[in-house]
Chains A and B, each alone.
Chain A
Amino acid sequence: MSEAISDTAFVEFERVQKSYDGENLVVKDLNLSMPKGEFLTMLGPSGSGKTTCLMMLAGFETATHGAIRLDGVSINNIPPHKRGIGMVFQNYALFPHMTVAENLSFPLEVRKIGKSTREEKVMRALGMVQMQDFAGRRPAQLSGGQQQRIALARALVFEPELVLMDEPLGALDKQLRETLQFEITNLAHELGITVVYVTHDQTEALTMSDRVAVFDDGRIQQLAPPDELYEAPHNSFVAQFIGENNTLEGVVQEIKGNSCIVRLDSGDVIDAIPVNVSKVGERTKVSIRPERVEVDKSRLSPDAHTLKAEVLEFIYMGDIFRTRLRVAGTDNFVIKSRNAPDQVRLTPGSQIDIGWLAEDCRALDA
């Protein structure tokens, strides 16, 4: 997490709603507050309302209800060009009839900045993305990654405090995406800008962000730093959406302070920590990360519950092994283990016992 985060809210959504047709709410009661300098990602499946939120912040959509504040000032009625927010678009939206330098110069020209200052700023911005040599090219003469860099430089050249990015890396291949993810985060932290980043790629969200807001059904399901989001999902949607996840369904049998016992539908009993369950008898989905499943009984506490499992498939993936098991009536229970010298390679067809630490297993809403 960045140290630049301050306590005062820089961007604030308060009870924001948005409807296009007057019948359905695309965004339902959005509340979000982010401090200056934060890199926040809005993550969610398509249609979850994340892009709409971004467009409302940029000013291209108006909120049906609620207030959006920037640095304490309500911006509901400020037109987009007066908001001073930098934006990177999904398809880059570089002006095809202008050269790279002219593209970058455009926001400075409309701000009536002098020619020499303009040139200096353009070159500095191009320097930030290592594209000084391409100033005279047209966007069509650049590769996707280069265009993306230019789009980024253009959004930064007029030194906005807030930059919005709408799935900026969506059209690039994996390797380039990873390089650019790294560059964008570095740049954002270096410049101390606040970034709102929209993506549907969870890896991107986890690697880049200070905090991630997981969107679904027009609401933020969870707003948390990446590690917390992954390790401590608040509900089963977040658990499913972020990373790989094993889900077992059952009923809460016993709650003891910070731990509980769940009776699965197959009749097996497991340990978990109650997150979204409050009373005995409630249905629950239990979530366990594949890499937290233990196959070596000696590493578990003696009184821990274990489950019988049958190995269905063993996949060698280089750095890890991925093993699919049949557990408690489900066929796609997956465990991941590191490719270490002492690691056992499970053979399909064999019967094993599996278990986990109670704190790795979260009983969530059904």
Chain B
Amino acid sequence: MAEQVLAADGTPLKASLNRALRRQKMRALVLIAPLLLFIMLTFIIPIGQMLFRSVENSIVADTIPRTVVALDNWDASGDAEPDEIVFQALFYDLFVASEAKLHTRLGSRLNYESSGISSLFRKSGRGLDDIADVYKDAFVDQNDVWADGAFWFEMMNTADGAPSADGVFAQQRDLLGNLTSSSVRKNIGFLPNQEIARALPLTTQTYTEWALYVANFDDDVVADEKPWESVYAALFDDLHAPGAAERLANYTGTGADELNSALAIVDTIPDQPYHAAFADLDDGWLSPDVWRTIQAYAPRFTSGYFLNAIDLQNTDDGVEWRPENEQIYLTLFVRTMIMSMTITISCILLGYPVAWMLANLPARKANMLMILVLLPFWTSLLVRTSAWKVLLQNQGVINDLLVWAGFVADDNRLALINNATGTVIAMTHILLPFMILPLYSVMQTIPISYLRAAKSLGATNWTAFWRVYFPQSVPGIGAGSILVFILSIGYYITPEIVGGTKGVFISNRIAYHISSSLNWGLAAALGAILLAIVLALYWAYDRIVGIDNVKLGG
């Protein structure tokens, strides 16, 4: 090993150098820090979050967690609706969700996958109280004390020194936290006691859930409030369940007598199975298709958005093409690519001669021409696009001129707008400067002597251009093409205004899902695919041409 080189003060030279360089690096970092922070906060993080939405699918598991667990055992390939236990779980899940007014959100989400579910959820949310009211009325008729919130609180709460059911409390707190996407950590002054939790497990859960909800979101005191109707349904379910008498016999806490009286009348209450109750609300609940959809989108992560984004869907038989009348995105992607390519090529064809002229004119004239090239930048994009609308429309300037000149018959005017032609024309115009500028700056660096040398060596003007000048301008074409292509692949405003239905891009669809249909997951999946395409093209370009060959100037 070579001897370590020492600096003048005896420290190793490498350490010395590193120290000197570190200060430079720190200074550089401090200089870029504000921009870095700004980009991170306003760009990278939001985009990362947005892209995450393309696979994220917690809403089903968060909104109807017990249903999802219960549904696990259901055989989706059969024709039967799920068991009663699933409907029971759905009742308690939907009850709290509709109290929190979140059940419609799940409905909209599932509606993306199977239409009709949205109204199913909306309608059912309104009828849940009616299902439970039967039980409430029965219990209150038997004993007024069941309508007393304080009595309920005393029965359910843990007395000083008594063991509490911490597990139940924590579980309900997590469920509610997931449902409402908020922290429900407030001290609510209530803990379910262990004895009642053993005697009435479902009632304890439901009461705890209610208590957490009213204390956290309504800012109420638990002891002063009357519980939700679902608590009475839970009480009925507990008392009606097999072995209820034995469990109750062991219970000695507050309300033991009242509970025993209630147990006595349970058999007089008409028992309506939950699935029948839901079928009453909407017979859509008996359709296995609805349950298949719920089961398919129960996992917290889904490939559904991405499949949807390329016209596929998850079915029982695996991944399949969507019905032909629902296929739209692949066509849009292909159209976006083809039209972006057309725009890029048009920009090269139109921009190259202009850039050539700019690079070879005397400085004064070149500056003048440059101003003309840059002029579009000084006009609002919207104004320019709208101007094209005026120019290109059926009764517009261009058609009028063509008719006047006799090129086109009056009853056969060219369709130049609200189609792909309109988009290509307007976008070529708008993106042309992005092609000319890099071309110009590259061409400026090619000395005229190369052309002269080629001619002196016997090349005709064309050969000299094609063999000597053009290859050297390729980096400019590359830079301009990447710029124009990437800009146009994600363009939105212009296709929206002049594109009609045949000339819109994938970005217009993304915008639609972001702002109108609110299907952000699908929008994110489409955006992620678009990003992947751009990166893939960039990679391919790097492999073929070499990204070092891209020059924006100098």
- Is B458 engaged at the interface, CB distance under 8 Å to the other chain? yes
Instruction: Render A97-120 as a binary contact track against B, CB cut-off 8 A, 1 for contact.
Output: 100000000110011000000000
- Is A356 engaged at the interface, CB distance under 8 Å to the other chain? no
Smallest CB–CB gap between B197 and chain A, Å? 82
Q: Which of B452, B460, B471 contacts A89 (CB 8 A)?
A: B452
**Chain B residues whose CB sits within 8 angstroms of the CB of A90 once the complex forms:** 449
- Is B457 engaged at the interface, CB distance under 8 Å to the other chain? yes
Cα of A60 to Cα of B447 in the assembled complex, Å: 14
B449:A91 contact, CB within 8 angstroms: yes
**Chain A residues whose CB sits within 8 angstroms of the CB of B468 once the complex forms:** 95, 106
Smallest CB–CB gap between A61 and chain B, Å? 10
B457:A110 contact, CB within 8 angstroms: yes
Which residues of A59-112 are within 8 A (CB) of B? 59-60, 79-87, 89-91, 93-97, 106-107, 110-111
B458:A96 contact, CB within 8 angstroms: no
- B464 to chain A: closest residue by CB: A81
Smallest CB–CB gap between B550 and chain A, Å? 15
- Is B281 engaged at the interface, CB distance under 8 Å to the other chain? no
Smallest CB–CB gap between B127 and chain A, Å? 77
B458:A111 contact, CB within 8 angstroms: yes
Smallest CB–CB gap between B310 and chain A, Å? 40
- A102 to chain B: closest residue by CB: B467
Smallest CB–CB gap between B463 and chain A, Å? 6
B453:A158 contact, CB within 8 angstroms: no
A107:B457 contact, CB within 8 angstroms: yes
Smallest CB–CB gap between B170 and chain A, Å? 71
- Is A58 engaged at the interface, CB distance under 8 Å to the other chain? yes
B472:A110 contact, CB within 8 angstroms: no
Which residues of B431-489 are within 8 A (CB) of A? 447, 449-450, 452-461, 463-464, 467-468, 471-472
- Is A154 engaged at the interface, CB distance under 8 Å to the other chain? yes
B459:A110 contact, CB within 8 angstroms: yes
Cα of A126 to Cα of B453 in the assembled complex, Å: 18
Residue from B453, B454, B457, B472 having most chain A Cβ neighbours under 10 A = B457
Smallest CB–CB gap between B456 and chain A, Å? 4
What DSSP secondary structure best describes chain B's contact surface?
helix
B447:A154 contact, CB within 8 angstroms: no
B456:A58 contact, CB within 8 angstroms: yes
Which residues of B345-399 are within 8 A (CB) of A? none
**Chain A residues whose CB sits within 8 angstroms of the CB of B456 once the complex forms:** 58-59, 80-81, 83, 85-87, 155, 164
- A60 to chain B: closest residue by CB: B452
**Chain A residues whose CB sits within 8 angstroms of the CB of B449 once the complex forms:** 89-91, 93
Cα of A93 to Cα of B456 in the assembled complex, Å: 11
Cα of A83 to Cα of B468 in the assembled complex, Å: 19
Q: Which of B447, B453, B459, B464 contacts A87 (CB 8 A)?
A: B453
Smallest CB–CB gap between B471 and chain A, Å? 5
Q: Which of A81, A86, A91, A97 contacts B459 (CB 8 A)?
A: A81
- B471 to chain A: closest residue by CB: A97
Cα of A93 to Cα of B449 in the assembled complex, Å: 6
- B459 to chain A: closest residue by CB: A110
Smallest CB–CB gap between A105 and chain B, Å? 10
Q: Which of B447, B455, B461, B467 contacts A91 (CB 8 A)?
A: B447
A81:B472 contact, CB within 8 angstroms: no
Smallest CB–CB gap between B477 and chain A, Å? 13
Residue from A60, A85, A164 having most chain B Cβ neighbours under 10 A = A60
A93:B453 contact, CB within 8 angstroms: yes
A81:B452 contact, CB within 8 angstroms: no
B452:A93 contact, CB within 8 angstroms: yes
B450:A158 contact, CB within 8 angstroms: no
Cα of A80 to Cα of B454 in the assembled complex, Å: 10
**Chain A residues whose CB sits within 8 angstroms of the CB of B472 once the complex forms:** 95-97
Smallest CB–CB gap between B443 and chain A, Å? 14
Cα of A155 to Cα of B458 in the assembled complex, Å: 11
- B463 to chain A: closest residue by CB: A110
**Chain B residues whose CB sits within 8 angstroms of the CB of A155 once the complex forms:** 456-457
Residue from A58, A89, A95 having most chain B Cβ neighbours under 10 A = A95
**Chain B residues whose CB sits within 8 angstroms of the CB of A58 once the complex forms:** 452, 456
- A109 to chain B: closest residue by CB: B467
Smallest CB–CB gap between B364 and chain A, Å? 14
Cα of A91 to Cα of B454 in the assembled complex, Å: 14
A110:B458 contact, CB within 8 angstroms: yes
Cα of A84 to Cα of B457 in the assembled complex, Å: 7
Cα of A357 to Cα of B467 in the assembled complex, Å: 62
Cα of A85 to Cα of B453 in the assembled complex, Å: 11
B458:A81 contact, CB within 8 angstroms: yes
- B470 to chain A: closest residue by CB: A97
**Chain A residues whose CB sits within 8 angstroms of the CB of B454 once the complex forms:** 95, 106
**Chain B residues whose CB sits within 8 angstroms of the CB of A83 once the complex forms:** 456
Cα of A87 to Cα of B464 in the assembled complex, Å: 15
Cα of A91 to Cα of B472 in the assembled complex, Å: 17
Residue from B455, B461, B471 having most chain A Cβ neighbours under 10 A = B455
Smallest CB–CB gap between B431 and chain A, Å? 27
Smallest CB–CB gap between B283 and chain A, Å? 74
**Chain B residues whose CB sits within 8 angstroms of the CB of A158 once the complex forms:** 457-458
Q: Which of A79, A80, A93 contacts B447 (CB 8 A)?
A: A93
**Chain A residues whose CB sits within 8 angstroms of the CB of B471 once the complex forms:** 97
Cα of A91 to Cα of B450 in the assembled complex, Å: 10
Smallest CB–CB gap between A157 and chain B, Å? 9
With A91-B447, A91-B449, A93-B449 in contact, do A106 and B455 touch (Cβ < 8 Å)? Answer: no
B457:A154 contact, CB within 8 angstroms: yes
- A58 to chain B: closest residue by CB: B456
Residue from B454, B456, B464, B468 having most chain A Cβ neighbours under 10 A = B456
Q: Which of B447, B450, B455 contacts A81 (CB 8 A)?
A: B455
Cα of A59 to Cα of B464 in the assembled complex, Å: 15
Interface residues of A (CB under 8 A from B): 58-60, 79-87, 89-91, 93-97, 106-107, 110-111, 154-155, 158, 164
- 7 intermolecular pairs with C-beta atoms under 8 Å apart: A81-B458, A81-B461, A106-B457, A106-B467, A107-B457, A110-B460, A111-B458
Q: A85-B456, A154-B457 are in contact. List 20 more A-B contacts (CB 8 A).
A: A58-B456, A80-B455, A80-B456, A81-B456, A81-B458, A81-B460, A81-B461, A87-B452, A87-B453, A87-B456, A91-B447, A93-B449, A93-B450, A93-B453, A94-B453, A95-B453, A97-B471, A106-B454, A107-B458, A111-B458
